[in-house]
A and B are shown apart, each in its own frame.
Chain A
Amino acid sequence: MVLTRQLDPITVAPLWPDSVSIAALQARAMLDSGKATEADFAEVASRSRRNALDNPKAQLAWDRSAEEVLSEPYTVAPLRRSDCPPITDGAAAVVLAAGDVARSKVDRPAWIRGIDHRVEPIHLGLRDLTVSESTRLAASKAGVADGPVDVAELHAPFSHQELILAEALGLGVDTRINPSGGALAANAMLTAGLVRIGELADRVMSGEARRGVAHATSGPCLQQNLVCVLEGEEA
C-alpha cells in the first residue's frame, strides 16, 4: 500500500494499484512482445532460489525446478508466487574508503570503476516496459562493456525484470547472475540495491570474481536504475 502512494497522486494512486499488479503489467508486456515466455520467468525464479541455498543471509531458498514453478497458480497473472519477492525485514551497510586507506584495510579492495544512475518518467504509458533505457544509459556511463563481467548482482524484485536488466546491461552467457539469489531471495526493498553492491564486493574481495556489475532499482517497473562496476586488483 505504501508503494501505491509512490505513484502519481492525482491520476494513478487513487486507483490503488498494488505493486505486484504494476509489475505484472510489465511481465505481460514482455510476453506480448515475444521477448520472453512464462517458462523464462520460471527459470529465473528457480535458479535464484537455488542459488540462495548457498547464501546464509537469504530469506527464501529452495530447490524446485522451473516446471514446478510453472505449475503454481497465478498470483497476479502472468506472475506466480515464485516470480515475486518475499516480504523482508533487513538492513545493509557498506564502508567506502579511498586509495591507500582501502588497501590498508583489505588485501583485495573492490574498486568502484564506474557508477551511474538514471531515471525515466514514472508514467508507465510513456515507456516501453520491455526494455530499461535508464539501465542501458547508466551501464554505458559506468563502462560496463569495458571489460568482462564475471558476476552481476541485479536488483530485480520480479523474475521478468532480471531478463530486462540483463539485456539492458548487455550481459552474455559468461556472466553469472545473482549468485546470492538476488531480490527474489530477500527483498528489504530500499536496501536491496545496497545488498547487491555488498554481495558483489564480497565476491570481488574474495577473488571469486575479478570484475562485476551491481545494480539497484527504484520506482514502479524499474523507473530509476543505478549501475556500479566493481573490480579487483591483480595480485
Chain B
Amino acid sequence: MGKERVAVVGIGQTKHQATRGDVSMAGLVREAAKRALDDAAMTWADIDAVVIGKAPDFFEGVMMPELFLSDALGCTGKPMFRVHTAGSVGGSTAIVAAQLVQAGIHERVLTVAFEKQSESEAMWALSLPIPFTPPLHAGAGGYFAPHVRSYIRRAKAPDHIGMLVALKDRQNGLKNPYAHLHEHDITFDSIKDSMMLWDPIRYAETCPSSDGACALVIGNESVADAAAADGRKPAWIKGTAMRSEPTLSAERDTVIPLAGALCAADVYRQAGITDPRRDVDCVEMYVPFSWFEPMWLENLGFAEPGEGWKLTESGVTALDGDLPVNMSGGVLCTNPIGASGMLRFAEAAMQVRGTAGEHQVDGARTAVGHAYGGGSQFFAMWVVGSDKP
C-alpha cells in the first residue's frame, strides 16, 4: 500500500486546569488550535480538513459538539468530522487525521481533541445506570481497580510501585507548564497517606479531572520538508495503529489485553522497531491510575510478563532513566479525557522535535505515543521520529 510520508508540523495545547472558567468550549478548542497553527506557521485558510475528537457527549451535555465547534475551528466549507473511541479518542483522532494525509486526500489537516469536564460531572456520566444490572459502578476507578488488583497478584508486585509512579509523574508534571497538577509539596509519604478511594487505588494515584484541549497540524511530505527548511523540525510519523476487543469475552485478559499487544506489535512493525526496549527512546503512555505504567510496560513489549514493575522500581522509567515514561507528567497530572490521548501523541512528537522544554529527553529520536479507552477495549498508538522515514 503506497502511503505518503507525513509528519506533525504544528502542536498546540491549552493550559489545563480543573475549571477553565475564562473560556467557553469553543474558546478552549480554539486556544489549542491557534497555538498549533502558529507553531506550524499557518493560518486557518491553509487547513484542508478538521478532525475533532472527544469522549462521551454526556460530559458536557452537548450532543455532537463538533457541529457547534465547527464555527470556532474554521471548518466552514471544509470536511469536518468527529471521532469517538472513549478515552483513547485523542490518539484515534490524530491517527484518522494522519491517515487522511497518508492516503493523499489532504495535504494539511488540523486535528483537535478536548474535554471540558467542569461543565458537568464526568464521574456520574461514566457511572450511568446500566439497564438490568446493580448500580455498583463508581467511575473509571471502580472499573479498573479489580484489574489493578489482578495485576499486583499476578506480577507479585510490591505495594509501593503505584506510589512510585505517582511520585515520578507528578514530579515530571512540575516541569510542564501546561500540566494541570503542579504539586510542589508531593512526597512518597503524602501519596501513601492519601485516601484509599477504590482499594487498591489511592487518591494520589488517580488522575485529576481537567478542562483542556490539544491540537496538531499534520502535513504531507512537501509540507513537512518546507517546515524543516524553515527551521521548524517536523516529527515524522513512522507508524500508526488501532486495535479493539470486546469487553464481554470470556477469553479476555483485562490486565494485559491482547488488543493492546497487537496494536503495539503492528505499530513497531511499521516503524521498523524490532526491540522496543532498545529502539525506543521515550514513551508517553495513557496511565490514568498509577499501576497502569507497569501493566502497559508489559502489554507494549517493554518488559517480560511480571517484570514491568521492576523497570519502574529501578528508575528506568524516570525522566533521566534508560526508558523515560510520561515525561509530561502524563494523565496523572492532566486529564481532559477526550484530549488525553492526543496529549500523549503530542508529547511524543515534541520529544523528537526537541521542543519539550524542561521535560525534554536528551537526544530523543524515536518516541511512542499510546492511548487506551473504554473498558481497556480501544487502543491507539503511534511512533514518531526525528528522521524522515
**Same complex origin of A and B:** yes
Q: Contact between A6 and B79 (Cβ–Cβ < 8 Å)? A: no
Q: Contact between B78 and A8 (Cβ–Cβ < 8 Å)? A: no
Q: Contact between B77 and A6 (Cβ–Cβ < 8 Å)? A: no
Contact pattern, B 56-74, Cβ under 8 Å of A = 1, otherwise 0: 0100111111011011000
Q: Assuming A117-B79, A137-B77, A224-B80, is B70 touching A122 (CB within 8 A)?
A: yes
Q: Does A134 contact B (CB under 8 A)?
A: yes
Q: How many residues of B contact A (CB 8 A)?
A: 20
Q: Which residue of A lies closest to B24 (CB)?
A: A10
Q: Contact between B68 and A8 (Cβ–Cβ < 8 Å)? A: yes
Q: Which residue of A lies closest to B80 (CB)?
A: A119
Contacts of A5 in B (CB 8 A): 57, 61-63
Q: Assuming A9-B68, A223-B67, is B75 touching A119 (CB within 8 A)?
A: yes
Q: Does A123 contact B (CB under 8 A)?
A: yes
Q: Which residue of B lies closest to A117 (CB)?
A: B79
Partner of B63, one of A3, A122, A133, A224: A3
- B223-268 residues at the A interface, CB under 8 angstroms: none
Contacts of A117 in B (CB 8 A): 79-81
Partner of B67, one of A6, A133, A134, A137: A6
CB distance from A22 to the nearest CB of B (A): 12
Q: Contact between A6 and B64 (Cβ–Cβ < 8 Å)? A: yes
Q: Which residue of B lies closest to A1 (CB)?
A: B63
- A96-148 residues at the B interface, CB under 8 angstroms: 116-123, 126, 133-134, 137
Q: Does A65 contact B (CB under 8 A)?
A: no
CB distance from A204 to the nearest CB of B (A): 23
CA distance A117 to B68 in the complex (A): 16
CB distance from A113 to the nearest CB of B (A): 15
CB distance from B49 to the nearest CB of A (A): 9
Partner of B76, one of A3, A8, A10, A119: A119
Q: Does B297 contact A (CB under 8 A)?
A: no
Q: Which residue of A lies closest to B50 (CB)?
A: A119
Q: Contact between B79 and A119 (Cβ–Cβ < 8 Å)? A: yes
Q: Which residue of B lies closest to A141 (CB)?
A: B79
CA distance A116 to B68 in the complex (A): 20
Contacts of A173 in B (CB 8 A): none
CA distance A176 to B76 in the complex (A): 30
Q: Does A15 contact B (CB under 8 A)?
A: no
- A208-234 residues at the B interface, CB under 8 angstroms: 218-220, 223-224
Q: Assuming A9-B25, A120-B77, is B63 touching A2 (CB within 8 A)?
A: yes
CA distance A218 to B25 in the complex (A): 20
CB distance from B56 to the nearest CB of A (A): 13
Q: Contact between B61 and A9 (Cβ–Cβ < 8 Å)? A: yes
Q: Contact between A121 and B71 (Cβ–Cβ < 8 Å)? A: yes
CA distance A201 to B315 in the complex (A): 58
Contact pattern, A 1-45, Cβ under 8 Å of B = 1, otherwise 0: 011011111100100000000000000000000000000000000
Q: Contact between A7 and B78 (Cβ–Cβ < 8 Å)? A: no
CA distance A174 to B77 in the complex (A): 29
Residue from A9, A116, A123, A223 having most chain B Cβ neighbours under 10 A? A9
Q: Contact between B62 and A9 (Cβ–Cβ < 8 Å)? A: yes
Q: How many residues of A contact B (CB 8 A)?
A: 26
Q: Contact between B67 and A218 (Cβ–Cβ < 8 Å)? A: yes
Residue from B25, B68, B71 having most chain A Cβ neighbours under 10 A? B68
CB distance from B303 to the nearest CB of A (A): 38
Q: Contact between A122 and B68 (Cβ–Cβ < 8 Å)? A: yes
Contact pattern, B 330-350, Cβ under 8 Å of A = 1, otherwise 0: 000000000000000000000
Q: Contact between A120 and B62 (Cβ–Cβ < 8 Å)? A: no
Q: Assuming A133-B77, A134-B77, is B61 touching A122 (CB within 8 A)?
A: no
Q: Contact between A121 and B76 (Cβ–Cβ < 8 Å)? A: yes
Contacts of A116 in B (CB 8 A): 79
Contacts of B81 in A (CB 8 A): 117
Partner of B68, one of A7, A133, A218: A7
Q: Contact between B79 and A218 (Cβ–Cβ < 8 Å)? A: no
Contacts of B79 in A (CB 8 A): 116-119
Q: Contact between B70 and A121 (Cβ–Cβ < 8 Å)? A: yes
Q: Contact between A122 and B77 (Cβ–Cβ < 8 Å)? A: no
Residue from A7, A117, A121, A218 having most chain B Cβ neighbours under 10 A? A121
Q: Contact between A219 and B67 (Cβ–Cβ < 8 Å)? A: yes
Contact pattern, A 152-176, Cβ under 8 Å of B = 1, otherwise 0: 0000000000000000000000000
CA distance A10 to B68 in the complex (A): 11
Residue from A116, A119, A122, A218 having most chain B Cβ neighbours under 10 A? A119
- B276-310 residues at the A interface, CB under 8 angstroms: none
Q: Which residue of B lies closest to A10 (CB)?
A: B24
- B44-100 residues at the A interface, CB under 8 angstroms: 57, 60-65, 67-68, 70-71, 75-81
Q: Can you sample 26 A-B contacts with CB below 8 Å?
A: A5-B62, A6-B62, A6-B63, A6-B64, A6-B67, A7-B68, A9-B61, A9-B62, A9-B65, A13-B62, A117-B79, A117-B80, A118-B78, A119-B70, A119-B76, A119-B77, A119-B78, A119-B79, A120-B70, A121-B70, A122-B67, A122-B70, A122-B71, A218-B67, A220-B67, A223-B70
